[in-house]
């Protein structure tokens, strides 16, 4: 598993991101995940309607 590393601006040593920083990044992406899931459900429903007519 790859570690989440960020370079400190004062030193060139990588520092590990805290759990809070990773969690806040995930929270920013959460609305996008819901939107993608909604679009996929609508797409699947659309294809089901089209292919059920044949």
Q: Given this model, what pLDDT does residue 1 score? A: 44
Q: Given this model, what pLDDT does residue 43 score? A: 92
Q: What span, in angstroms and rounded, lies between the C-alpha atoms of 35 and 39? A: 6
Q: Given this model, what pLDDT does residue 34 score? A: 87
State if pTM tops 0.85: no
Q: Given this model, what pLDDT does residue 7 score? A: 52
pLDDT tens for residues 11-52? 666 667 676 666 666 667 777 888 999 999 999 999 888 888
Greater pLDDT, 8 or 21 = 21
Distances (CA, A) of 6 to 3, 29, 31, 43: 10, 19, 25, 38
Cα Rg for the chain, rounded, in angstroms?
A: 20
Domain boundary assignment for the chain: 5-52
């Amino acid at each position: 598993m790859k570690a989440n590393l960020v370079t400190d601006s004062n030193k060139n040593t990588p520092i590990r991101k805290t759990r809070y920083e990773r969690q806040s990044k995930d929270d920013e992406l959460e609305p996008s995940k819901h939107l993608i899931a909604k679009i996929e459900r609508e797409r699947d429903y659309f294809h089901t309607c089209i292919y059920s007519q044949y």
